[in-house]
């Protein structure tokens, strides 16, 4: 597992991303989700999702009031599946921020936000887009 933290200054938003997650890390990530305010059915569903140990899954939870997000990208079966999970979870983060700030999801600001988040995540994400790199990271 790799953990990345980054800050989005235009929205005063903190993000923690967990990459290549398997069910071994469930308790740690559930504690982090609780720390940012995840409760009730959202927390139960996150726990069930993580305990299932399925490949190609993810979770994104945002506390809009505190401007904080926890994102999880599970182990993936291929670089293409990583790209899919990456785009999917990044999309949730960008929608959460857009909702918090009233950003038009069809406008330029939403696209600039998505590009910015992608650039922040790229230094880690690129390691999962190359099959050779993935094998050394995921112990395959």
pLDDT tens for residues 5-29? 999 999 999 999 999 999 999 999 9
Average pLDDT, the chain: 95
Q: What is the pLDDT of residue 135?
A: 72
Q: If pLDDT is split at 50, 70 and 90, which confidence band does 51 have?
A: very high
Q: What is the pLDDT of residue 137?
A: 72
Give how many domains the chain has, as a whole number.
1
Q: What is the pLDDT of residue 140?
A: 53
**Reported pTM:** 0.93
Domain of residue 32: give its range: 2-138
Q: What is the pLDDT of residue 131?
A: 77
**Residue found by looking up tokens 């505190």 in the block:** 66
Alpha carbon separation from 26 to 1, 22, 46, 52 (Å, rounded): 12, 8, 9, 10
The alpha-carbon radius of gyration of the chain (Å, integer) is: 15
* Whether 123 contacts 5, CB under 8 Å: no
Read off the pLDDT of residues 54-82 as tens digits, 9 standing for 90 and up: 999 999 999 999 999 999 999 999 999 99
**Would the pLDDT of 132 be above 70?**
yes
* Span of 34-38, 107-111, 125-129 with lowest mean pLDDT: 125-129
């Amino acid at each position: 597992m790799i953990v990345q933290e980054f800050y989005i200054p235009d929205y005063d938003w903190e993000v923690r991303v967990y990459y290549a997650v398997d069910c071994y890390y469930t308790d740690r990530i559930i504690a982090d989700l609780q720390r940012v305010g995840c409760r009730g059915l959202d927390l139960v569903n996150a726990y069930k999702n993580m305990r299932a140990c399925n490949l190609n899954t993810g979770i994104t939870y945002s506390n809009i009031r505190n401007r904080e997000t926890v994102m999880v990208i599970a182990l993936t079966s291929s670089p293409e599946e990583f790209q899919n999970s990456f785009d999917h979870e990044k999309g949730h983060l960008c929608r959460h921020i857009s909702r918090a700030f009233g950003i038009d999801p069809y406008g330029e600001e939403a696209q600039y936000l998505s590009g910015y988040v992608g650039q922040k995540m790229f230094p880690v994400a690129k390691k999962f887009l190359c099959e050779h790199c993935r094998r050394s990271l995921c112990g395959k």
